[in-house]
Amino acid sequence: MIHRLPPGTRDVLPAEMRELRALSDRLRASFDGAGYGEVWTPSVEYEDTLRRGDERAARAGAYRLFDEHGRVLVLRSDMTVSIARLVATRYGGVRPPVRLCYFAHSHRAVERGRGHAREFLQGGIELIGPDAPEGDAEVVALVLGALEQAGLRRHRIGIGDGSLVRELLGELEVPHERRSALLEHLSRRDLVALEFDAEAIGLSPAARELLVTVPSLRGGPEVLDRAGGPVARAVEGLRELYELLAERDAAERVILDLGLVRELGYYTGAVLEVYDPAVGYALGGGGRYDELLGRFGTPLAACGIALDLQRVHAAQAAEERLL
Amino acid sequence: MIHRLPPGTRDVLPAEMRELRALSDRLRASFDGAGYGEVWTPSVEYEDTLRRGDERAARAGAYRLFDEHGRVLVLRSDMTVSIARLVATRYGGVRPPVRLCYFAHSHRAVERGRGHAREFLQGGIELIGPDAPEGDAEVVALVLGALEQAGLRRHRIGIGDGSLVRELLGELEVPHERRSALLEHLSRRDLVALEFDAEAIGLSPAARELLVTVPSLRGGPEVLDRAGGPVARAVEGLRELYELLAERDAAERVILDLGLVRELGYYTGAVLEVYDPAVGYALGGGGRYDELLGRFGTPLAACGIALDLQRVHAAQAAEERLL
């Protein structure tokens, strides 16, 4: 007798569960030690609420349902929008910074047949109040340190700028209707498609060069010297953040990546992605979202990162096999 | 700007969250120490799966949704049916007993306007393999001890028998179509409605007396001496369980309750409800379900209890106020 599970979901048995709990506990201890208090938000939210935060976050929900009044609910796909709602609702009179963390399952729609998880356990932090680059540096350094405390040795963080590509497209006067395909190709790092896009748009050879070159710059602080012009402001921001991280002895884990594009639309500054060379996928990501809280009536700067704990756990195991 | 939450759900802020984590950690340590390994099952299950376990458990789901093939999914309302499915699927070759525990949110439909939680955090155990009364005694004693380790001092457990009332109704030849109303009145302990039912059915005065008296027997082992006849088998089972609990020094917390009826239909023997006199509602419940695993193709006896952790937490706080 076979009892199927919904696609993208799985049972976790005691041996693995014990390790996931140990991982969560260690990360929580690091977050707590830095003053990040844990919160819980409901597993279901009104779609209207998620849409107020970000149209894409609302669409990313794997599962839609209805309440008894016919209002559309979504199984949350991300904690950041819910925490923005919570801060606006419950921390109205609190002087920032507000430091929060969470450990909870989310559900995200994934393409069929890809074998990706739809239900995944996230652990993450949100720092509300501090501006870039200080706030970003605190978030990045805390996550890197927490992963080290949890036993990872080879992890890295990719840092890009969510406004850089938008600024570049604006400076190059790329028509708005062309931008979403271009961003899609950038996020897949499909340079061939990018060159094709650039030609189709009729960009000048210099502009084409810029569009393909800038997003492929990736490495240490030296890559910042090779970008400028239309993206000078974003590059300057990355340089300041890198210097703060160097002061916190975190620079050796940083990969500056001018082509880093995150899917969700609410990022306004630094965008972040956590890697481990032992596995071939990102362990988590996040960034700065200075406009999201304002959409809930409480304009405050903010930055956060979410880790996929099953992926972090897999990276731990893969690192151990490599030892 | 007000951002409403779905009815019956709530945010949990750091001060409360820290206490809920501490409570879960202490309970988990007790369960783990007794050999109960923690498992996780998906938040969503196919409605067919839940219905195979128990029609009422499937109906209790607060939220129904559809996958891309149009199959109906339910946000789980209870972990027991999911764990029965998991044991049948993943522990087929394992020699019982299997001892499992869980800490997870479930969602249950509640009447509108009652202010009850729809999303609630449960922690519980399932003991698969051992028969009554030994298995029941292990489960009851472990939960009582775990609550004591977690800091409760006044908690009690009500123990009834899920088959007692059914046997009584059978012996009294109550027509089947009358039984669900009668069970409903019994579960609400509405003696006036019960007497009215008995009269409407046309039971003899002796039978009416039995129907009202037996389910109102509640207290120490002396109440067992006052029941017999048609319910002798169930009473004998309760006596054996009570004696085992007395050997484990747990008898002082036990309230034998011949009128205890649990909502879900899968209980076949002992039914259990956890109380604390400091608060006016049950902290959790469970019982023996010897037929549930067989419905998933793995016939095994089983017994379990689930605690509502927010209610246990409220009871801790209420006990402290009473000190």
Cα maximum dimension of chain B: 65
Nearest CA in chain B to A64: B65
Query: Residue B49 is nearest to which of A3, A14, A37, comparing CB atoms?
Result: A3
Instruction: Look at residue B222 and tell me whether its pLDDT is greater than 90.
Output: yes
Closest chain A C-alpha to B45 CA, distance in angstroms: 6
Residue B15 C-beta-side C-alpha neighbours within 13 Å = 0
Interaxial angle between packed helices B176-187 and B164-171, expressed in degrees from 0 to 180 and rounded to the nearest 10: 140
Query: Residue B17 is nearest to which of A5, A40, A73, comparing CB atoms?
Result: A40
Answer for the pair B41, B124: CB distance below 8 angstroms, yes or no: no
The 3-state DSSP class for residue A213 equals helix
Q: How far apart are CA A39 and CA B16, in angstroms?
A: 9
Nearest CA in chain A to B52: A3
B179 CB contacts (<8 Å, ≥6 apart)? B169
B2, B11, B94, B102: best to mutate for the A interface, most A CBs within 10 A: B11
Nearest CA in chain B to A37: B14
Note the pLDDT of residue A264: 63
Query: Residue A112 is nearest to which of B6, B28, B68, comparing CB atoms?
Result: B68
pLDDT digits (tens, 9 = 90+) for A19-74: 999 999 999 999 999 999 999 999 999 988 988 888 776 777 668 887 777 788 88
Give the mean pLDDT of A6-16.
Answer: 93
B residues 109-148 lying closer than 8 A (beta carbon) to A: 112, 119
A43, A105, A112, A119: best to mutate for the B interface, most B CBs within 10 A: A43
B residues 1-30 lying closer than 8 A (beta carbon) to A: 1-7, 9-15, 17-18, 21, 28
Give the mean pLDDT of B49-54.
Answer: 86
Q: Where are the alpha helices (DSSP H) in chain A?
A: 14-33, 47-53, 55-59, 80-90, 134-149, 164-171, 176-187, 191-201, 205-213, 232-247, 292-295, 309-322
* Torsion angle of the four alpha carbons A71, A72, A77, A83, in this order, in degrees rounded to the nearest 10: -20
In the structure, what pLDDT confidence band is assigned to residue B38 with cuts at 50, 70 and 90? very high
Give the mean pLDDT of A242-250.
Answer: 97
Most confident of A29-43, A210-224, B186-200: A29-43
Closest chain B C-alpha to A229 CA, distance in angstroms: 41
Answer for the pair A149, A316: CB distance below 8 angstroms, yes or no: no
Strand partners, A128: A98, A302
Closest chain B C-alpha to A275 CA, distance in angstroms: 26
> CB of A173 within 8 Å of any CB in chain B?
no
Of the listed ranges A118-132, B20-34, B63-77, B269-283, the least confidently predicted one is: B63-77
Percent of chain B having pLDDT more than 70? 95
More confident position, A182 or A305: A305
B133 CB contacts (<8 Å, ≥6 apart)? B237, B240, B241, B244, B270
Q: Please report where in the chains the tokens 């747990």 appear, as a residue.
A: B250
Distances (CA, A) of B165 to B54, B131, B274: 19, 21, 20
**Measured on CA atoms in the order B205, B211, B213, B214, is the torsion positive or negative?**
positive
More confident position, B141 or B69: B141
Note the pLDDT of residue B231: 85
Cα of B244 vs its chain's centroid, Å: 20
Note the pLDDT of residue B115: 64
> CB of B63 within 8 Å of any CB in chain A?
yes
Give the mean pLDDT of B49-61.
Answer: 78
A contacts of B14 (beta carbons < 8 Å): 37-39, 100
Backbone angles phi, psi at B307, to 5 degrees: -105, 140
Going along chain A from its start, the domains and CATH numbers come out as 14-38+96-104+116-322 (3.30.930.10)
Q: How far apart are CA A190 and CA A201, in angstroms?
A: 17
Query: Residue A14 is nearest to which of B37, B63, B85, comparing CB atoms?
Result: B37
Note the pLDDT of residue A62: 67
Average pLDDT value for chain B: 90
More confident position, B172 or B153: B153
Cβ of B112 and A12 within 8 Å?
Answer: no
pTM: 0.93
In the structure, what pLDDT confidence band is assigned to residue B53 with cuts at 50, 70 and 90? confident
Percent of chain B having pLDDT more than 90? 58
Nearest CA in chain B to A5: B45
Note the pLDDT of residue A154: 94
pLDDT digits (tens, 9 = 90+) for A296-312: 999 999 999 999 999 99
More confident position, B301 or A265: B301
Chains A & B: contacts with CB separation below 8 Å: 135
